Amino acid sequence: MYTVGYRVHGVLTLGVTLLALICAMASLPDNLNVPSPSVSVQVLNVNWFRKQPTGNDEVSLLLNISADFQSMLTWNTKAVFVFLAAEYETPQNALNQVSLWDDILPSKKNPKFWIQTINKYRFTDEVSNLLGKEFNLTFHWYVIPKTGKMFADKMVMTAYRLPVEYI
Ligand X SMILES: *[C@@H]1O[C@H](CO)[C@@H](O)[C@H](O)[C@H]1NC(C)=O
Question: Interface with ligand X includes 115 (CB under 6 A)?
Answer: no
Interacting residue with ligand X among 23, 26, 42, 73 (CB under 6 A):
42
Question: Interface with ligand X includes 156 (CB under 6 A)?
Answer: yes
Question: Interface with ligand X includes 64 (CB under 6 A)?
Answer: yes
Q: Describe the strand order of the beta sheet including 77-88 as a list of residue ranges.
A: 96-106, 77-88, 134-145, 151-161
Question: Interface with ligand X includes 40 (CB under 6 A)?
Answer: yes
Nearer Cβ to ligand X (24/126) = 126
* Burial (0-12, 13-18, 19+ Cβ within 10 Å), 80: buried
Nearer Cβ to ligand X (125/146) = 125
Question: Interface with ligand X includes 117 (CB under 6 A)?
Answer: no
Half-sphere exposure of 14 (CA within 13 A, CB side): 6
Quote the longest CA-to-CA distance of the chain. 87
Question: Interface with ligand X includes 114 (CB under 6 A)?
Answer: yes
Can you tell me the distance from the alpha carbon of 135 to that of 28, in angstroms, rounded to the nearest whole number? 36
Site for ligand X, rule CB under 6 A: 40, 42, 44, 64, 66, 87-89, 95, 114, 136, 156
